[in-house]
């Protein structure tokens, strides 16, 4: 008889998004998903739609987004999916209305910010702030917890550093929301999606060769934190492999998180 490793949540890095959301009726919920036309964003959109969530796909490429939304509706009878054009590297685009980019070298956004930082962090920071009051009123009226899930991981180059900022964002946002008292029923957490088949690595053929055969598994943790009852009331935490995890010392630095928030609020 072999060993069976049991994770606290009952799920692991081998779990799929459909497995971790099995039996969950999420009708009545609305989810805004960035970068939803491919990779982890698309799989997240598909599974949330499968569970009854009204999905808003925020994408740069509207044609790709429409193709993705049509594929979801063709697979899932009654799926409610809408496409919203949004370039997260442009603050005007976020206000007026993957998102993740991985490229080598330093490229500036239309607002003069480093492109990875603008797209993967500042754009999401602004979008979250713009949606916050609506989330507060909706969660208060419905009695249903609002959940903010930042897809993040640590590393040493520009792209991972922009994701590190997302972890710090979740830490500080959770602290601020907690300080507003019991009347605010919103959580904010960060997750490491693990390895996922995605277009974000198109600039690295070697990485493609290693990553693509593994398949899309990263949406499981995203969907778990977004929908599962086990996560209710948990905020300011970091998840990987569908379980609570401990980020690095930089990721959990409260003072750094506060400074980043102050800097981000100026954009």
Q: pLDDT per residue over 167-216, tens digit each? A: 889 999 999 999 988 789 999 999 988 654 444 444 444 334 433 333 34
What is the pLDDT at residue 155? 45
Q: What is the mean pLDDT of the chain?
A: 79
What is the pLDDT at residue 208? 40
What is the pLDDT at residue 192? 87
Q: Is residue 3 part of a domain?
A: no
Q: Is residue 75 part of a domain?
A: yes
Catalytically active residues, by annotation: 159
Q: Is residue 115 part of a domain?
A: yes
Give the CA count within 13 Å in the CB-facing half-sphere of 207: 12
What is the mean predicted confidence (pLDDT) over 107-120?
48
pLDDT band at 267 (very low <50, low <70, confident <90, very high): low
What is the pLDDT at residue 194? 67
The token pair that represents 125 in the structure block = 């920071």
What is the pLDDT at residue 217? 56
Measure the CA–CA gap between 154 and 256, rounded to whole angstroms.
15
What is the pLDDT at residue 166? 82
pLDDT band at 153 (very low <50, low <70, confident <90, very high): low
CATH of the domain at 59: 3.40.50.720
Q: Is residue 15 part of a domain?
A: no
Domain that holds residue 149: 24-264
What is the pLDDT at residue 119? 53
What is the pLDDT at residue 249? 65
Say if residue 159's pLDDT is above 70. Answer: no
Most confident of 68-72, 90-94, 148-152, 212-216: 68-72
Please tell me the least confidently modeled range out of 59-73, 129-143, 156-170, 220-234: 156-170
* Model pLDDT for residues 41-67, shown as the tens digit of each residue: 899 999 999 999 999 999 989 999 999
Of 221, 219, 145, 222, the C-alpha closest to 187 is: 145
What is the pLDDT at residue 12? 87
Q: Is residue 84 part of a domain?
A: yes
pLDDT band at 125 (very low <50, low <70, confident <90, very high): confident
Q: Is residue 8 part of a domain?
A: no
pLDDT band at 110 (very low <50, low <70, confident <90, very high): very low
Q: Give the residue, 37 or 98, on which the prediction is more confident.
A: 37
Q: Is residue 13 part of a domain?
A: no
Q: Specify the number of domains making up the chain.
A: 1
Q: Is residue 6 part of a domain?
A: no
What is the mean predicted confidence (pLDDT) over 212-241?
83
CB 267 within 8 A of CB 126: yes
Angle between helices 62-75 and 39-50 (to 10 degrees): 40
What is the pLDDT at residue 40? 86
């Amino acid at each position: 008889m072999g060993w069976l490793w049991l994770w606290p949540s009952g799920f692991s890095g081998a779990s799929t998004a459909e497995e971790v959301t099995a039996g969950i009726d999420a009708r009545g919920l609305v989810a805004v998903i960035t970068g939803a036309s491919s990779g982890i964003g698309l799989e997240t959109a598909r599974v949330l739609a499968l569970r009854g969530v009204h999905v808003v796909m925020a994408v740069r490429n509207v044609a790709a987004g429409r193709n993705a939304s049509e594929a979801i509706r063709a697979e899932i009878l009654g799926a409610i999916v809408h496409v919203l054009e949004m370039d997260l590297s442009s603050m005007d685009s976020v206000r007026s209305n993957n998102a993740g980019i991985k490229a080598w070298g330093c490229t500036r956004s239309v607002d003069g910010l480093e492109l990875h930082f603008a797209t993967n962090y500042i754009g999401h920071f602004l979008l979250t702030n713009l949606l916050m009051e609506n989330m507060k009123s909706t969660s208060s009226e419905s009695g249903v917890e609002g959940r903010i899930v930042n897809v993040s991981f640590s590393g040493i180059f520009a792209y991972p550093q922009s994701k590190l900022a997302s972890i710090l964002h979740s830490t500080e946002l959770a602290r601020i929301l907690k300080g507003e008292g019991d009347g605010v029923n919103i959580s904010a957490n960060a997750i490491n999606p693990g390895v996922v088949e995605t277009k974000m690595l198109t600039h690295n053929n070697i990485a493609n060769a290693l990553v693509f055969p593994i398949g899309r598994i990263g949406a499981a943790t995203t969907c778990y934190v977004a929908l599962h009852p086990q996560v209710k009331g948990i905020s300011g935490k970091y998840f990987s492999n569908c379980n609570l995890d401990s980020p690095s010392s930089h990721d959990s630095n409260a003072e750094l998180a506060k400074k980043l928030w102050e800097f981000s609020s100026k954009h």
